[in-house]
Structure formats: C-alpha cells, structure tokens
Structure 1
C-alpha cells in the first residue's frame, strides 16, 4: 500500500501543488487546513509522515509538533517562510525531522519525504545475521550477541563461530574449520581450533557448542 502523507497547509494553492506532486510520486496525500485538524487526524488515523506548515490557524505548527511528539513518532517535515538558523534550530528541537523553507521546489519536498520514509522504515532482517537460539552472529557487522548482550570475539573465534552458525547442527571437523581460518592465519593448527572453541564455549556457554568425540564440533540452539 502507498504511504499516507498528511499535509497540514492553510494555503489551498500550496496544498494542492504538494498534493499533486506527492500523488504523482506514488504516495497517498491527505490535506488539512489548520493545526487542530492536523492533531485530530494524526490521533484518529496516523499517517506515515506529516508535512507541517509552521504558520497554521487555530494551532500553529510549533504547537502541533510539540503535542504530537508526546505520543507519536511519525516523521515530520516542517515547512516555513522563516529561513533564519534560529528558526530552523527551534523547529528541529521541537521534534521536526527535517526543515524546508519557502519558496521551495516541490521536487525537493518529494525527495525529502522519500528520504525520511526510507530512514523511518524498519529494515528487514539481514541475511548477514545468523541466528541460532538466542545467539546472533552478524557477518556484515562482525559482531556476536547472546540474548541481546554483546559477546566480544577475536577474529579467529568469530570466523569459527560464523562457519558453524551458517549450518547449525552440522558437525565440523578440525580440518574443515582450519580451511575457514586459512585466510586469517596460514599457520593455524588443530590445537588453535581447540583453543578457539574452548574460548567460545566459555563466552556463549557449553550448551551451544558441543563436542562430537572423534569427529569435531557443532553449534546447536542452546
């Protein structure tokens, strides 16, 4: 479904221009002409983003922003004819996410709306994050966490753990794990693998890292 953009603008001509540009960009724009209507609309049916004129009748844009920030975290793009640095800072401190001064190019407004929505949309889980029970191995960020708590790992430990996390339940021989380490340490040995596993077991717990006697190691969901 297209994102809903609420436009709070009391100038009918400006509101119509913004509405048409946002509609052409694939959004679902809704227009209100005063601050009280903006607050009521957000509370009744929260939009994905609010384009908020600073100078509105009934309730001005500053107060609209202040009121909505109490219990709403939708992105707010503030519009104003005031271009001083103090005005911009004041708008941002009230909770606006971006600030555009009049006159503006409607294409720039659409670009800023798009950027704000992109930043506010939760990212889907990355394929780089491997999860085994409460253990999360982020190959892109090169981090490990257990039940949300960071687990510091050396590069060698991380390489061994990431290899096993990619195929939980599979038994890895020392030779297979050495192959994974070869890009980091050409002189790695079976004893080095055992040390990495021992350190990892101490950090994430023995329930996750199991020894298969006579074969190697495997990672399971705790």
Structure 2
C-alpha cells in the first residue's frame, strides 16, 4: 500500500474559542478539546470573546447561551455577521423555543447542560468536517431560477446574487440536486449536517430561513415545499417565473 502523500509539514491544529463564564465548565471543555488535539483559547464573556476572535480568528466557537452582559444569542449574531465561523451553543435551557432561538441566531449546533464532554468533542469534529469538507465539490448547477457555483460557494437567483450562510447553501444545493424528491428531516440532517443523531428542529429552522430568502411568500412556498409526514421537496420552476419581489402573484399561478 502506498503511503499517503504529505507536504512534509505538520498539520496546524484547528483553533477553538470557548466562551463561558463558568470556570468549571470552561476548564473541563478546554481540557477535553486540548486532549483531542485542538488549540484552545478561553474567554469569560462575549465582548472578550469577540475581541479575541478579531485578533486571531478561531475555526469554531463553543459559546454559552447565558453570559453576563451580552448574552449568547447576541454574541452568536455578531460572530455570524462578522465572520464565517461555525458556532456550537451550550445552554442550560432545554426548551424547544430556546433551542430554536439559538439556531435562528445562526448557531450550527447546540448542547444542553449537563452534557458529556466527549459528545462535545464529537460535535466539534462533525461541525468542522462539514464547514471545511476534505474535497470541495466543483461545477455549476442550474435549476429553475437558481444557478449554483459549487466550487465558489455562490448562488444566483434570477441572475442576481443570493446571500446565504454556508449551511443554507449546502442545504439548497442538496435539495436542488434531488428535484421532486421528498427528503425527510433525518435524511437532511445526515446528508447536509453529517450527523447520525441530533435535534431535527435544526433542519426545520434552516428550511424556514431559506424560504425567507427564496420564496415570494414564505408562508406559501412554491419552490421548497413541505411533504406532510415525510419532509421537504424542491420543485424547480421555469426561469420565466416571477421574481420573488414581484407584487403580481397571479403571474406565478
């Protein structure tokens, strides 16, 4: 068997920023992540975390939801607005609405306290694999009003650039590649997120956010449809369809 080619240089460890005001939790999380081979930096609050990220951007942020001053929801929003960095949110609030609020703020995953540090390490590894795939897809995809450049991670709708997060792009690309096929939330969670387990509301929230960007009326979707009891289905429309901002909905009927 031929050895795997290498550059001769050691691989740079991925940087993880842990933002948590509980010193016990921070110590445990940092210890497990360091043992897994990551370079770990710790911040006790959101402002310090943002400052540290501005100086030396991390590859992933582990963020506590309940922070003094600026809470984790606002911190997550600021991270997502400034940098394309994945965020895993830690929360003591295990209610569905609290989880959804974190996902809507842009969190890529979450864990409810108390949690297993080993599970956190697995979640970090999984999110990093999805955010930087080992082999980037290439080529262009045309479907309905969409034109996707997979290599550049860019999408146009009716010829106009469409601003999507990395996960929204992956979700749209996966659905577009399987037109008229009903896909369950479990299928999407495994194929797009790379998770064999996880909260299915993650998929629900991202579908809703995607609809808000691509549908003329997100409450009455025409492109990204719900298949009740199954999941979701992408139904491409011809390029002559109305633009999302058209006021005359009759042109789409």
TM-score (norm 1): 0.56
Separation (CA, whole Å) in 2 of partners of 1:109 and 1:94: 20
**Equivalent residue number for residue 11 of structure 1:** 22
Quote the offset at 1:2 in angstroms. Answer: 0.6
Whether 1:73 and 2:84 are equivalent positions in the alignment is yes
Match of 2:66 among 55, 59, 63: 55
Separation (CA, whole Å) in 2 of partners of 1:95 and 1:52: 12
Quote the offset at 1:125 in angstroms. Answer: 5.4
Q: 1:125 and 1:107, CA in 2 relative to 1: closer, same or farther beyond 3 A? A: closer
Whether 1:26 and 2:26 are equivalent positions in the alignment is no
Separation (CA, whole Å) in 2 of partners of 1:107 and 1:22: 9
Aligned ranges 1:100-115 → 2 under 5 Å:
100-115=111-126
Separation (CA, whole Å) in 2 of partners of 1:52 and 1:111: 16
**Equivalent residue number for residue 44 of structure 1:** 55
Whether 1:99 and 2:99 are equivalent positions in the alignment is no
SS in 1 for 2:67: coil
Quote the offset at 1:74 in angstroms. Answer: 0.5
TM-score (norm 2): 0.49
Asked which structure has the greater CA Rg, the reply is 1
- Please list every run of at least 4 consecutive aligned residues from structure 1 whose deviation after the TM superposition is greater than 4 angstroms: none
Count of residues paired in the alignment: 132
* 1:93-140 alpha-carbon deviations (Å, 9 max, x no partner): 0000001000000000000000000001143357xx8xxxxxx69xxx
**Equivalent residue number for residue 179 of structure 1:** none
Provide structure 2 residue ranges, at least 5 long, that are not aligned to the other structure: 1-11, 141-148, 153-253
Q: 1:125 and 1:97, CA in 2 relative to 1: closer, same or farther beyond 3 A? A: closer
